[in-house]
Structure 1
Amino acid sequence: MNVEIKQNYEEVSQETAQRIAAYVAAKPDSLLCLAAGNTPLGAYRILREMAQEKKVDFSRCTFVGLDEWAGMDRHSDGSAQEMMYRDFFDPLGIRPEQIVYFDAASDDLEAECRRIDAYIEANGPIDLMLLGIGVNGHLGLNEPGVDFASRSHVTALSETTVTVGQKYFKESRELTGGVTLGIAQVMESRTVLLVASGENKAAAVRGMLHGEVTNALPASILQRHADCTAIVDKAAAGAAE
């Protein structure tokens, strides 16, 4: 795993956006998987600016969703899709046919997992995956204890994720579970970028970079990825230096 330590969040966002833009320039028809959440927002802002200036073109890319809270869809306040449509897809004019996401409001989440797996099997592997890291070391909603051989699956949520996840909602929400791409699909992605910012991520980043590879801290598996770069600010790297 390569590590880029930046001074602050803005530098993390700049580096991340530049790497995504460069990848798309080299492979305009990339299959991309971009995480929702607060950490990537700076990179998405910069990519919007780059697109307006004709410095990046996503018109031939396809986007597959990473994860979603169970029971939610793109219109649910605080859902992963709602955030991605608001901060990335709609401002960039991404067409509906370019976007493939779990319908986590479906009555059959297992069928949704099979549908997404089939899509990636037919169109993948994922070219570039952008990930954050949870304070408990999760990737997407691959929680501690996850099977490293997993593909798309329905998952229970750790108490940490339920608590931290409340920040995405205007009012307290009961989070009952989620659906997520699995660790196997993370590891099969051609390129992985992982972004982290802030002291609250420092312990997880340290474990990811320097701890043993264990499903107790799912992000540690990225030590074995052939092309993974962690882009972190000094605060997040504090316990890893």
Structure 2
Amino acid sequence: MKILIFPDAEAAARETARRIVAQLVAKPDAVLGLATGGTMEPVYAALAAAVARGDCDGRRFTSFNLDEYVGLAGDHPQSYRHYMNRHLFDAIGLPAAQARLPRGDAPDPAEEARRYEAEIAAEGGIDLQLLGIGNNGHIGFNEPTSSLASRTRIKTLTRGTVEANRRFFGPDEQVPSLAITIGIGTILESREALLLATGGAKAEAVAAMVEGPLSAACPASALQMHPRATVICDEEAAARLQLRDYYETVHPGGTEPAITAPKGLERTRT
């Protein structure tokens, strides 16, 4: 797991967007796994700006979002389909057929989850999976005690998650307590995972994910098993990392320093 620490949330979001742009430059028809939430809004704003500048192609990739609330139609203001249209898809003109999310209003949510998992497999899997992290360590809506081998399925949200989401809904609206979410096993099969965490409220979860035991109590800790997982965080989110000095030695300022042999130890070619 690679840990990159940036001075503030703005710099962390900018680096996250830069890495997504690099993926689309290297493979314009990549399959992206996308996330939602306030943490991702500056990432998508920067990605849309990059597409507008012509830095990458915003119309050839295919995306699969991590989750959707059970019971919400795609045009509901609090659906994740609506979020993605507002923050990214409409801005870059991604064809609707390439912008995939589970149908929250599907008549059979369990069958919809199975269909969505099969659709990901049919596209060859996810090239780059973007992730956030919940205060309790969830990724997607894989709440604590989720199977670390799980596939796309229906999950019951914790009371804490429901309460955290209540602010987005009207006083007379019932906050969804179920969601269709891509599973941890599916996330681990992505060819690259990129997790963004900002703010002090995420510090405990980040520490548990990076340095804690591999445990269903912190679903994000499963990323310790991912062969190409990068965690990008700001200083506040990194505040409880015990090995922070080491991470900053390896990647000072969040950079990727070139690997060179110490002076005097370079191999002599003959």
Which residue is equivalent to 2:203? 202
| Aligned counterparts of 1:58 and 1:217: Cα–Cα separation in 2 | 34
| Aligned counterparts of 1:22 and 1:105: Cα–Cα separation in 2 | 35
Determine which structure has more spread, i.e. the larger CA radius of gyration.
Answer: 2
- 1:10-64 CA-to-partner distances (Å, cap 9, x unmatched) read 1011100100000111011101111011101111111111111101212210011
The answer on whether the counterparts of 1:73 and 1:82 sit within 8 Å (CA) in structure 2 is no
- Aligned pairs for 1:109-120 within 5 A: 109-120=109-120
Which residue is equivalent to 1:153? 153
Sort the Cα spacing of 1:173 and 1:12 in 2 relative to 1 into closer, same or farther, 3 A.
farther
Relative to the length of structure 2, the TM-score reads 0.87
Q: What's the secondary structure of 1:236's corresponding residue?
A: coil
Which residue is equivalent to 1:25? 25
- Aligned pairs for 1:42-53 within 5 A: 42-53=42-53
- Aligned pairs for 1:6-21 within 5 A: 6-21=6-21
Task: Give the alignment's Cα RMSD to 1 decimal.
Answer: 1.1
Q: What's the secondary structure of 1:57's corresponding residue?
A: coil
| Aligned counterparts of 1:169 and 1:81: Cα–Cα separation in 2 | 16
| Aligned counterparts of 1:92 and 1:153: Cα–Cα separation in 2 | 29
Which residue is equivalent to 1:215? 216
Q: What's the secondary structure of 1:107's corresponding residue?
A: coil
Taking only the aligned residue pairs, the percentage that are identical comes to 38
Which residue is equivalent to 1:126? 126
Which residue is equivalent to 2:94? 94
- 1:124-149 CA-to-partner distances (Å, cap 9, x unmatched) read 21001100000000000001000111
Structure 2 unpaired stretches of 5+: 245-270
Q: What's the secondary structure of 2:207's corresponding residue?
A: helix
| Aligned counterparts of 2:74 and 2:222: Cα–Cα separation in 1 | 30
Q: What's the secondary structure of 2:140's corresponding residue?
A: coil
- 1:180-205 CA-to-partner distances (Å, cap 9, x unmatched) read 00011100000110000100000000
Sort the Cα spacing of 1:167 and 1:9 in 2 relative to 1 into closer, same or farther, 3 A.
farther
Structure 1 unpaired stretches of 5+: none
| Aligned counterparts of 1:110 and 1:25: Cα–Cα separation in 2 | 36
Q: What's the secondary structure of 1:237's corresponding residue?
A: coil
Matched, 1:5 2:12: no
Which residue is equivalent to 2:253? none
Which residue is equivalent to 2:183? 182
Q: CA deviation at 1:93?
A: 0.6
| Aligned counterparts of 1:167 and 1:22: Cα–Cα separation in 2 | 35
Q: CA deviation at 1:170?
A: 4.8
The answer on whether the counterparts of 2:130 and 2:195 sit within 8 Å (CA) in structure 1 is yes
| Aligned counterparts of 1:222 and 1:168: Cα–Cα separation in 2 | 29
| Aligned counterparts of 2:21 and 2:139: Cα–Cα separation in 1 | 23
Total equivalences in the alignment: 241
